[in-house]
Structure 1
Amino acid sequence: MNNWDAMSAQEIERMARNIAPGGWSVERHKPLATLLGSCVAVCMFDDIAHIGGMNHFMLPSMSRSQGANDADIDNLLSGDYAMEVLLNALLAQGAARHRVKAKAFGAGTILTGSASSGIGVRNAEFAREWLQREHIPLIASDFLGPWSRKVLFVPETGDAYCRRMATTQATAQGIAREEAAYAQSLQRKPPKSNIELF
């Protein structure tokens, strides 16, 4: 067991596993980190079992030929998947459902006048609503505003560190590119299988 209290945020960041957009991880001893723009990261943990995890999701604006309703369903499913997979992985590794708590961050508007400004608001609302529906207390959050955020999470203790960063144009464009690539990956159809059943 590490003495996390004695470590600085910089030391924790050096040890952390990075969670990219669309990713998630459950850990006991390794800290987790992510960089957020309009995306949201939710940290869920059981501080008695000393286990926790983090996801990083975006509810993308998807244009599909099937119509707006299908796009809205896809939007919800991407967020639902990120939350469900994280909670189920925690429970599978020994967390107790009634002890799980959450901390959530992100949903910033880093590019003014961009389509991402509405996504951040929807992300924050979605995260709050999902946790409330699942009866998981949201004990800390930092949402919205004109910042990107660096989030560090220590699963073993449930401690989270959030640094708001004044976003330069270069940083904003980098985060926006990463989030756009994630959004496009959600729109791609899975490759056709060449497996024949007999």
Structure 2
Amino acid sequence: MRIETIGRFKRVILSPGEYHAATDATVISTLLGSCIAACLYDQTNKIIGMNHFLLSNRRYSRDLPIYASEAGRYGIHAMELLINEMLDKGADRRFLKAKVFGGATIIMNRESAGNFVCVSDVNCRFIREFLSNEGIPLVAEDLGKQHGRVIHFSNGDFSVYMRKIARNRSTRLAQRDRDCWQQAIEVQEKTIPVVDIWR
């Protein structure tokens, strides 16, 4: 996990296997391919959280219930770590909502034919089933397809800024990402009041 700061604002950049929850003026960012990022938020208590996980087997039987698989156990662990971190910071599980991204098929793989599905399909299926089973409303998603994504999740207005990554990546991507998360910070400046720590 890397952290960048601009004044009182910070940007947390997640790598695979990481998660972060925030109550302050924060943008959480990550780069996704086949992985999933679940962006959870409690609008009432002004808390956000994001994880970045991958169910790692190459393929799974279409008939195997996700929750009974090794992938399901790993996904549940990744989601519960994030949810517990948010609850520790004051979130209320009843108010949690989700926006989810990722699960791209970056490398076309014909081995997913027949009774098997590839990891990207399983990732997408898992996150939808988990949220449904836990009663967490899924308010937005961009899953599957054949492109990567860079996402930035803002605690100002709970927006997720997403950029698709084409196979031929431009050299200007880093600057575009910086512009995107700075725009998110400007929104936070208007929606998150400055706290006087000397009171």
Of 90, 93, 104 in structure 1, the residue corresponding to residue 89 of structure 2 is 93
- Unaligned regions of 5+ residues in structure 1, if any? 1-10, 170-198
Q: CA–CA distance in 2 between the matches of 1:129 and 1:147?
A: 23
Q: Is the 8 A contact 1:59 1:78 kept in 2?
A: yes
Separation in 2, partners of 1:167, 1:15? 29
Match of 1:30 among 22, 26, 38: 26
In structure 2, what is the equivalent of residue 192 of structure 1? none
Secondary structure at the counterpart of residue 164 of structure 2: strand
Question: Structure 1 residue 107 and structure 2 residue 103: aligned?
Answer: yes
TM-score (norm 1): 0.69
C-alpha deviations, 1:16-37, integer Å up to 9, x for none? 2111000000012211000000
Specify which structure has the higher proportion of helix: 1
| CA gap 1:89/1:167 in 2 versus in 1, 3 angstroms | same
RMSD (CA atoms): 2.6
Q: Structure 1 vs Structure 2: percent identity of aligned residues?
A: 35
* Structure 1 residues 113-148: Cα deviation after superposition (integer angstroms, max 9, x where no partner): 287981111101100000000000000000011100
Summarize the Cα distance change of 1:121–1:90 in structure 2 as closer, same or farther, 3 Å threshold: same
The aligned residue for residue 153 of structure 1 is 153
Cα deviation for residue 110 of structure 1 reads 1.1
Higher strand fraction: Structure 1 or Structure 2?
A: 2
Q: How does 1:17-96 map to 2 (within 5 A)?
A: 17-28=12-23, 29-61=25-57, 73-96=69-92
CA distance in 2, matches of 1:97, 1:79: 18
- TM-score norm. by structure 2 comes to 0.69
Given that 2:100 and 2:142 are in contact with CA atoms closer than 8 Å, whether structure 1 keeps it comes out as: yes
Separation in 2, partners of 1:75, 1:99: 27
How many correspondences in the alignment?
151
Contact 1:62/1:75 (8 A) holds in 2: no
Aligned residues of 1:46 and 1:158 also touching (Cα < 8 A): no
Q: 1:62 to 1:145 in 2, by over 3 A?
A: closer
Tell me what 2:191 maps to.
none
How far does residue 88 in structure 1 lie from its aligned partner after superposition?
A: 1.1
Match of 2:183 in 1: none
